[in-house]
Structure 1
Amino acid sequence: MSFCQTTPRIIAPKKVLEKFQHVTINGGIEFDDPCRVARIAWAYREVVRRSIKYLFEGKSVEELVKALYNILPNYIYLETALKQARTIVEGLLEKEVETGRVIHAEIKRMWFANRGNKFDGGNRNIRIHVRENHVVVKIRDPWGGWLEGRAFFGERYIPLLKELEELAGRREESYGVVISFREHPRIHVQIPLHLYLKHFSTPKPPGYGLVAGFDLNSDRINVIVIDRSGNIVSLKTLWFSEATRPGFPREKAGYLRLNALGQAIKYVARIGADYVAFENLYEVKRKRFTENPTANRKISKFAKRQLLLHGILRSLREGLHVVLVDPRGTTNSKEHDEVMKRHGLDRHTASAYLVALRALSKVDINQHKHT
């Protein structure tokens, strides 16, 4: 029996695929001159704060650059800050539409970032240089010179970062960097997705052309596996009801959900699935609330997009292809009711079935056969 391995990929609209070009890895960082680094972070935050106000006033990017260059005298830092401010404004406007009231942003924490550019050695203002067990980080000071720091990542990331540095040196890849100061200084490096998967995905031979559909909820994950004819092969529900109890620690709840999702993805890979399918939450503009206050509390505290992102990356690492499908009608529709009756499924498993069925129409099952 021989197998043909395939590179895992994401099947989704082009606009959504743009969100998955990079994976962020995180590490700690120490600075030789923390005061000068703090000055950059303060200026960057001030630019974001003022940009939000100016964008609401209708000022153009050109006007903002002229008005704020004296605060942060570096065009690339400035450009990155303005882009982040624009993203924040877009999010605020969405919330205003959703709630019907004016939403204000409070920017308290300090941070700074710089976008990548492969023609600038990977990143013009924040560069990484890999050593045996740590990474030297060089930071351009907008007021002159360079600052240096030492970043510490897990040992498993060193080969990945070393290859990224080499590719950036040849002008083949770039990487964005964020320096944050939540509790301790942290560094966040954006790695090209294909490079991340090269180092961390598990080579997987083709399975049986099966598709697994997932329905992600605040207290459970429902997964169903179907064959190319839409027949049910397997179904499973992983519960974590305690995660929705009042007073239950949010971080612990997040861990339970991520752990359960990881188990479910390993399960479908083990039984021969080639594809996993999720609702494309990037097409959902707002959370759907109910008349039940308890249910609304669960919904408001449930970071579903974060869980989806974890599911996508975990699936790719397992060698599975990911399909994102249109979520409309997967929860409440005539088709949903018919699936429940025909297959004797509860409403959450029926949602998972519809997700899998929609994914089935988007993939080429014939390329995933045992030979």
Structure 2
Amino acid sequence: MAKQQQVLPGDKIGWVSMFREVAYGIVPNRRYADGAVTLVMGVYESCRALGVDFRSVELTDWLMFQQSGLEYPAKSITLRRGYEFHITTIKYDGSIGRVVVKPTVSEGYRELIDAIYRERIKYMGRVVIGDYGVRNNQLWVHGEVQVTVPLDVYYEHMARHRRNAGKLIGGVDVNTDRINLAIVDEEGGLRDYKTFWFSEVTTRGFPK
């Protein structure tokens, strides 16, 4: 629907105001509906920054749903003790339920997850479905639970406070459709760079 508009809003409030009703008609959950609108807005903004025609962008066969902003506790994707997530689900008939997911959390991220729960840090949950199927008459789903926190919180609990004894410095630029990595020397000269594209986002006529 966004592709059909001649003029699109310039901020998140405008996007949500224009598309919330349509999104809610498909996913009757305000947080998920607003999250879907925010996701499309991010794709649009990336297209503008890259000089790509937004109307030429297509999404491959994948599924992701997220909340629209930071909150504690997050209502639709709720973190509980023991690294559990209680996730709101919506069936085709519109009925709403909750499922409990206990993803594998690496040791390096447990400190951050513990801090969210202990310090009541606002966060935004996101679920990415990578694959699904039926085995022995039981539906199975494979995916990820992702959590977004304020950047200063991430630095506080995840940064490795070590002196940089080397001569090179790395930088990361995260976008909706790609991650850019760059390495510079002490004088600011570019030594190397690499772009990693997210396979879920494609666009006709734009090389990766």
Are 2:36 and 1:81 aligned? yes
Partner of 1:150: 102
Partner of 1:161: 113
Q: Judge conservation of contact 1:116–1:124 (CA < 8 Å) in 2.
A: no
Partner of 2:66: 113
Give the one of 109, 112, 124 matched to 1:176. 124
Give the one of 156, 166, 173 matched to 1:267. 166
Structure with the larger RCO, 1 or 2 (CA within 8 Å, 6+ apart): 1
Superposition TM-score, scaled by structure 1 size? 0.38
Q: Following TM superposition, by how much is the alpha carbon of 1:78 offset from its aligned partner in structure 2, in angstroms?
A: 1.2
- Tell me the distance in 2 between the aligned counterparts of 1:198 and 1:63: 37
Q: Following TM superposition, by how much is the alpha carbon of 1:58 offset from its aligned partner in structure 2, in angstroms?
A: 4.3
Specify whether residues 146 and 104 from structure 1 end up closer, same or farther in structure 2 by C-alpha distance, changes over 3 A only: same
1:85-100 to structure 2, matched below 5 A, reads: 85-95=40-50, 98=51
Give the one of 110, 114, 123 matched to 2:74. 123
Q: Following TM superposition, by how much is the alpha carbon of 1:103 offset from its aligned partner in structure 2, in angstroms?
A: 5.1
Partner of 1:68: 23
Q: Following TM superposition, by how much is the alpha carbon of 1:161 offset from its aligned partner in structure 2, in angstroms?
A: 0.9
| Matched position secondary structure for 2:80 | strand
Q: Judge conservation of contact 1:115–1:123 (CA < 8 Å) in 2.
A: no
Q: Judge conservation of contact 1:115–1:175 (CA < 8 Å) in 2.
A: no
- Tell me the distance in 2 between the aligned counterparts of 1:199 and 1:93: 34
Q: Following TM superposition, by how much is the alpha carbon of 1:79 offset from its aligned partner in structure 2, in angstroms?
A: 1.2
- Tell me the distance in 2 between the aligned counterparts of 1:159 and 1:354: 34
| Matched position secondary structure for 2:102 | strand
* Greater gyration radius: 1
**Count of equivalent residues:** 167
Q: Following TM superposition, by how much is the alpha carbon of 1:128 offset from its aligned partner in structure 2, in angstroms?
A: 1.2
Q: In structure 1, give the amino acid aligned to 2:28.
A: P
Q: Following TM superposition, by how much is the alpha carbon of 1:57 offset from its aligned partner in structure 2, in angstroms?
A: 5.8
Q: In structure 1, give the amino acid aligned to 2:3.
A: K
- Tell me the distance in 1 between the aligned counterparts of 2:75 and 2:43: 24
Specify whether residues 122 and 56 from structure 1 end up closer, same or farther in structure 2 by C-alpha distance, changes over 3 A only: farther
Q: Following TM superposition, by how much is the alpha carbon of 1:67 offset from its aligned partner in structure 2, in angstroms?
A: 2.6
Specify whether residues 354 and 84 from structure 1 end up closer, same or farther in structure 2 by C-alpha distance, changes over 3 A only: same
- Tell me the distance in 1 between the aligned counterparts of 2:37 and 2:81: 30
- Tell me the distance in 1 between the aligned counterparts of 2:118 and 2:28: 29
Q: Percent identity?
A: 16
Partner of 2:135: none
Structure whose residues are more often strand by fraction: 2
Are 2:158 and 1:200 aligned? yes
Q: In structure 1, give the amino acid aligned to 2:153.
A: L
1:37-56 to structure 2, matched below 5 A, reads: 50=1, 52-56=2-6
- Tell me the distance in 1 between the aligned counterparts of 2:147 and 2:103: 11
Q: Following TM superposition, by how much is the alpha carbon of 1:204 offset from its aligned partner in structure 2, in angstroms?
A: 4.5
Q: In structure 2, give the amino acid aligned to 1:154.
A: S
Partner of 1:249: none
- Tell me the distance in 2 between the aligned counterparts of 1:105 and 1:76: 25
Q: Following TM superposition, by how much is the alpha carbon of 1:115 offset from its aligned partner in structure 2, in angstroms?
A: 3.6
Aligned-pair Cα RMSD in Å = 3.5
Q: In structure 2, give the amino acid aligned to 1:64.
A: F
Gaps of 5+ in 1: 1-49, 206-264, 270-275, 283-302, 312-347, 357-371
1:26-45 to structure 2, matched below 5 A, reads: none
Once the two structures are superposed, what CA deviation does each residue of 1:90-118 show, in whole Å capped at 9, x if it has no partner?
223344xx46x675121221111114433
| Matched position secondary structure for 1:106 | strand
Q: Judge conservation of contact 1:80–1:113 (CA < 8 Å) in 2.
A: yes
Superposition TM-score, scaled by structure 2 size? 0.63
